Amino acid sequence: MEDQVLATNQTKRIALIAHDNKKQDLLAWASFNRDLLAQHELYATGTTGRLLEEELDLKIIKFQSGAMGGDQQIGAKISQGEIDFLIFFWDPLKPMPHDPDVKALLRIAVVWNIPVACNRASADFIISSPLMSGEYQRLLPSHQDRDERLERHSIS
């Protein structure tokens, strides 16, 4: 099957998430990049969004906290084509009670082929890319073959 193409506008829709002990890292990164972030639509999970709004004095579209379903809400927005990339400063050394939600969110981001930054270095590379200032043609892989196989197996 043929891949689909989704055009990403010049104004990007950026989801920002940080685990508790990574919030200060994300706030510092976002403060440094405030002027660039101000040109885009920003989304965040609950507490992170509130902290970013206070720090940056920008409007942030906020969801529930990650542990209360915010990660899943952002994942839903990704699957609906309403988030263009994800900045998620997560802590790989500290287990979280909602680890399955975190893994599901990262999985959805990969399935829908959006860029994901999990630390300051990768966030710097994404936000400084020349692709940030223009339209981008993102390929969406076709899952029709997989869906047809599943349908054939469920019928028998």
Tell me if 136 sits within 8 A of 8, measured CB to CB: yes
CA 132/CA 138 separation, integer angstroms: 13
Identify the segments of the chain with pLDDT beneath 70. Answer: 1-8, 143-156
Encoding tokens for residue 32?
A: 């440094």
Backbone angles phi and psi of 135, in degrees to 5? -75, 145
Q: What is the pLDDT of residues 122-156, one digit of tens each?
A: 999 999 999 888 888 888 777 665 556 556 666 65
Q: Specify the pTM.
A: 0.84
CA neighbours within 13 Å on the CB side: how many for 142?
Answer: 7
Catalytic-labelled residue, pool 35, 71, 84, 101: 71
Domain boundaries in the chain?
11-134
Region label for 81, one of left (φ > 0), alpha (ψ between -120 and 50) or beta (otherwise): left
Backbone angles phi and psi of 50, in degrees to 5? -65, -45
For the residues of 21-78, what is the DSSP string, one character each? Answer: GGHHHHHHHHHHTHHHHTTSEEEE-HHHHHHHHHHH----EE-S-GGGTHHHHHHHHH
Residue type, 146: R
CA 133/CA 15 separation, integer angstroms: 17
* Catalytic site includes residue 71: yes
For domain 11-134, the CATH class is: alpha beta
